[in-house]
Structure 1
Amino acid sequence: MHKPPIKPAPKARIGLYSIGLEAYWSQFPGLRERLAGYGKFLESRISAHCDVYNFGIVDNEAKGREAGEWFNHHHVDLIFCHSATYCTSSAILPIHQICSKPVIVLNLQPAARIDYDRTTTGEWLAHCGACPVPEISNAFNRAGIAFRVVNGLLGLTETPAASLANEQTAERAEAIRAWKEIEEWIEAAAAVRTLRQSRFGFLGNTYSGMLDMYSDFTMLQAQLGIHIEILEMCDLDRLLRTVTDQEIEEKLKETKNMFAIGGDASSDPIAQMPTEEQLYWSCKVAAAQEKLVREYRLDALAYYYHGAPGGEYEMLQSGFILGHSLLTARGIPCAGEGDLKTAAAMKICDTLGKGGSFSEIVVVDYEDQTIVLGHDGPFHAAISDDKPILRGMGLYHGKQGAGISVEAKVRSGPVTTLNVTQTGDGRLKLIISEGESTNGPIMRIGNTQTPVRFRSEPDAYMESWFKEAPTHHCALSAGHNARLFQKVGELLNCRHVTL
């Protein structure tokens, strides 16, 4: 069994309110209470995924201002506006002028069909949630307030006593689809909250010459909300000197539980069975890496250091890959070559429970029509098709030193890549691609590799991908997650494109 996360992610804080017209309450007794009941149903169901702050019914401009201040007080990440019946937009606009958090309008009708023969005006008003949505949309647009609308059915399992229609709609496709959308917005809000509370370590430097990965730390904090803690190799070296034999033994047990110890690779003379000395050293470094994460309260890490040939820090970095893979498996994504933007992509994927393994293009297989994605760095064991294999590397290609590396493949099935890049105007952009991980062959060279078949043939796919000017690394996640990643982009106010 894998160990629990070092730092569990916080829940999203979701604001909720329902709308109605104050004049209706005296005209149609019981209507307000019925609509409040629908709001309570929403609160109950949403609270399974997050912390909910339900203001109740907003039915005039004064209530709207009160609600805006209330949502600010509770520091919500996202607000759901439940369009329960008609309401003037003048009551709703102040909420979002006061509280600037993103807003999703829930146009969820209680019944699939009203009882036309028996329906009264009061009954109809309990079903006319779509009526004010165009007016609300126009007001938001003219006020410069971004919004999205979820349409569908409420999804009740029982019909309220006051209703003349059948409101048991939980099994209907329109309810299932709407609730999937709602849950995705909640997940995305949790990912953004986590990101904005995260401390990213930057250990060492960026691989020299990789211009796509150079980024302004202030720009990253401004757009993502992350704090970047600049770390030195001497910080890690200091902690390495405190590692005990017992801590090394514990890391060795953790390693053998998570990884298979590979033998010599028949095809590549530099990929051999790890020696006892390499395992011992990597486990000692791994113990120091965990101490570093705990001392600096890190949520993610970007790292790279080559060190002087034969120097102590070259030896120290030679043990990095094992420990960073162990940390990645425990909710602390680690991105090699100093790539902070891909560390952010990995953190988004990991927070959403989708993995997120450090990858780049390895090679194209035109016979299988796949693109192999992988790297010589950390791997996310939670999405592996089998136990990842540890191999002893005679050298790290393109880098100094030698040591243990990970050979692994993301499990077969749906996958999604998430690339966080930076455009010429200094803005971050998400590039998203869905595909299928296949059971095609991989090289036995001590690197992570996953053959992925995208929705267009390799050359066409690469043409569209390269046109978006990506960073050359990406996070490879399990599942088809494009809609989810798009929502994260929306909540971050970050441009995004899905290939």
Structure 2
Amino acid sequence: MNTKAYSKPRVGLYSTGLAAYWAQFPSLHDRLVSYNEFIAEKMGQWGEVYNFGLVDTVDKGIEAGKYFNEHNVDIIFLHAATYATSATVLPIHQRCQAKVVMLNLQPSDRVNYEKTSTGEWLAHCNACPVPEFANAFHRAGIPYKVISGLLGLEKTPAVSVANETTCNRPEAIRAWKEISEWIRAAQVKNTLSESRFGFLGNTYSGMLDMYSDFTMLQAQAGIQLEVLEMCDLDALLKTVTEEDVARKEAEVREMFTISGDSPAEKLAKKPTAEELEWSCRVAAAQEKLVGKFHLNALTYYYHGADGNAYEQLQSGFIVGHSLLTANSVPCAGEGDLKTNLAMKICDILGVGGSFSEIVTTDYIDGTILLGHDGPFHLEISEGKPILRGMGVYHGKRGSGISVEAKVKSGPVTMLGVTQTVDGRLKLIISEGESTKGTIMQIGNTQTPVKFSVDPDTYFERWFEEAPTHHCAMSIGHNAALMKKVAELMNLEYVIL
């Protein structure tokens, strides 16, 4: 199974101008167009850009609003190229409701004071109209964001008398980092709106934090939900061939280390040939389930009567669900749909998203151990994950193969999705460092994480946000990026 390449978001772009300027300063129009085209080309590495060009009259603004609606853009960047009246830009955003981010990007690090003419100055007065635009948007009830900095050209245009080679200036680097993050955030919203989450089985009984309103999740996150039964998977299991099993076993042996007996846990043994064959057979059926129902994520859990054939089926879940998670179909256990959403957000951003919960605290190292009994995001593993045969799935029925692994050392970000008392989704975001600390050899995923505060302070801050007891672990420090996802999707958030 190949990792899915997510579609680029649809990015709207236009630059501002004033029609009266063009006859007065003949070279200004083409100069601003060149800046606009530079921005469009650079944005193209992250998104599918729909560039309207210059908006310099009210009629052009009306036309631009219709243009962006026709192309169903996910976000609009307003490039303040020079002064323009707010009456030219407001009609755009009254017609197209996509999030607007204003770009106050000056071409030069400073004007050439001795040689600057009025026409030259107008190419550098980017900040001039921004407060007027902001005022109009605010009074019209249109939310907006602003990015200020340098344009970041690699070469000064011949028409300029100032230094416009600013690509290495920190003001340009920071601005373009912000722009790229907004486009990546737009990709999350775009992809979620086209994503189908499967819900297989039920939610672990008694875990009140797990229960979710499917309609609420679709309304606020844009996802589609497909309720699945164990009989759907069982029917596909019957179609699995020996060739399917062999293919899965080859995939498993390439991605995992097959363990010996654990020196610490007598229940954790070297997987038997029968256990490995069963996990591979179930993994092949899980892949077929994803294909049949066109799933982009899967939330699962099953607890049935003693001796139920489906109990044996679910005992083989962890390996296949880990393989799916590594292939852009994140899988969340215990029926935790909200954490599945967190995992999907991380996966779309390309930063992993492994199913985790707080395990224990190392007060000597000052770290908190986070992990679970599976599944695991194999793409962010420190080395090859280990497969162990588990005599018991603690707190659950059955036995089988489990994954023991650690997220790679370095910066990480925890993303929790919870639900507020008034039924709103809320993102809880915190950055930390995955350390090289020791983990237990008990067939579970575990990662020791050091946060900026001591463990007890961190616990108190995290718990006071009323989280679910699961979260998604991603690699990198992604708080600024995840904040933009929340803002673009109109979700509550907190950064600890």
The TM-score with structure 1 as length reference comes to: 0.99
In structure 2, the partner of 1:165 is 162
Residue 186 of structure 2, aligned match among 177, 186, 189: 189
Matched, 1:320 2:298: no
Matched, 1:474 2:466: no
CA positional deviation for 1:165? 0.5
CA positional deviation for 1:8? 2.6
In structure 1, the partner of 2:333 is 336
Provide the rounded CA distance (Å) in 2 between the counterparts of 1:192 and 1:372: 31
Residue 417 of structure 1, aligned match among 383, 408, 414: 414
In structure 2, the partner of 1:259 is 256
CA positional deviation for 1:311? 1.4
Gaps of 5+ in 2: none
* Amino acid across the alignment from 1:122: G
Provide the rounded CA distance (Å) in 2 between the counterparts of 1:144 and 1:473: 36
* Amino acid across the alignment from 2:301: Y
Matched, 1:69 2:75: no
CA positional deviation for 1:307? 2.2
In structure 1, the partner of 2:223 is 226
In structure 2, the partner of 1:22 is 19
Q: Deviations over 1:122-145 (max 9, x none)?
A: 100000000111111111111111
Provide the rounded CA distance (Å) in 1 between the counterparts of 2:231 and 2:435: 42
In structure 2, the partner of 1:493 is 490
* Amino acid across the alignment from 1:174: E
CA positional deviation for 1:23? 1.1
Residue 112 of structure 1, aligned match among 95, 109, 112: 109
Provide the rounded CA distance (Å) in 1 between the counterparts of 2:316 and 2:61: 57
Provide the rounded CA distance (Å) in 1 between the counterparts of 2:2 and 2:28: 48
CA positional deviation for 1:191? 1.4
In structure 1, the partner of 2:244 is 247
In structure 1, the partner of 2:352 is 355
Q: Deviations over 1:408-439 (max 9, x none)?
A: 00011000000010000000000000000001
SS in 1 for 2:300: strand
SS in 1 for 2:128: coil
* Amino acid across the alignment from 1:325: S
Residue 88 of structure 2, aligned match among 91, 94, 118: 91
In structure 2, the partner of 1:434 is 431
Matched, 1:4 2:6: no
* Amino acid across the alignment from 2:76: I
Provide the rounded CA distance (Å) in 1 between the counterparts of 2:454 and 2:131: 41
SS in 2 for 1:185: helix
SS in 1 for 2:245: helix
Provide the rounded CA distance (Å) in 1 between the counterparts of 2:133 and 2:454: 43
In structure 2, the partner of 1:58 is 55
CA positional deviation for 1:215? 0.6
* Amino acid across the alignment from 2:293: Y
Where do residues 116-131 of structure 1 align in structure 2 (5 Å cutoff)? 116-131=113-128
Provide the rounded CA distance (Å) in 2 between the counterparts of 1:313 and 1:4: 28
In structure 2, the partner of 1:40 is 37
Matched, 1:145 2:150: no
Provide the rounded CA distance (Å) in 2 between the counterparts of 1:133 and 1:57: 16
Where do residues 323-402 of structure 1 align in structure 2 (5 Å cutoff)? 323-402=320-399
CA positional deviation for 1:487? 0.6
* Amino acid across the alignment from 2:2: P
Provide the rounded CA distance (Å) in 1 between the counterparts of 2:419 and 2:62: 38
Gaps of 5+ in 1: none
CA positional deviation for 1:52? 0.2
SS in 2 for 1:11: coil
* Amino acid across the alignment from 1:108: L
Provide the rounded CA distance (Å) in 2 between the counterparts of 1:283 and 1:389: 15
Provide the rounded CA distance (Å) in 2 between the counterparts of 1:146 and 1:208: 41
The TM-score with structure 2 as length reference comes to: 0.99
Residue 403 of structure 2, aligned match among 406, 427, 443: 406
CA positional deviation for 1:193? 0.7
Bigger Cα displacement from structure 2, 19-28 vs 399-408: 19-28
Provide the rounded CA distance (Å) in 1 between the counterparts of 2:100 and 2:468: 31
Runs of 4+ that moved beyond 4 A: none
SS in 2 for 1:307: coil
Provide the rounded CA distance (Å) in 1 between the counterparts of 2:13 and 2:218: 28
Provide the rounded CA distance (Å) in 2 between the counterparts of 1:481 and 1:196: 22
CA positional deviation for 1:293? 0.1
Provide the rounded CA distance (Å) in 2 between the counterparts of 1:324 and 1:488: 26
Provide the rounded CA distance (Å) in 1 between the counterparts of 2:456 and 2:90: 48
SS in 1 for 2:233: helix
SS in 2 for 1:445: coil
CA positional deviation for 1:4? 2.5
Q: CA RMSD in A?
A: 0.7
Q: Deviations over 1:297-320 (max 9, x none)?
A: 000000000222221000000000
CA positional deviation for 1:62? 1.2
Provide the rounded CA distance (Å) in 1 between the counterparts of 2:144 and 2:387: 48
Q: Deviations over 1:133-187 (max 9, x none)?
A: 1111111111111111111000001111111111000111111111111111111
Q: Deviations over 1:210-234 (max 9, x none)?
A: 1111010000000000000000000
Provide the rounded CA distance (Å) in 1 between the counterparts of 2:128 and 2:106: 11
* Amino acid across the alignment from 1:4: N
Bigger Cα displacement from structure 2, 383-392 vs 305-314: 305-314
* Amino acid across the alignment from 1:15: G
Provide the rounded CA distance (Å) in 2 between the counterparts of 1:372 and 1:192: 31
Provide the rounded CA distance (Å) in 1 between the counterparts of 2:8 and 2:469: 31
* Amino acid across the alignment from 1:462: F
* Amino acid across the alignment from 1:317: Q
Residue 31 of structure 1, aligned match among 28, 43, 57: 28
CA positional deviation for 1:61? 1.2
In structure 2, the partner of 1:213 is 210
Residue 152 of structure 2, aligned match among 155, 158, 179: 155
The count of corresponding residues between Structure 1 and Structure 2 is 496
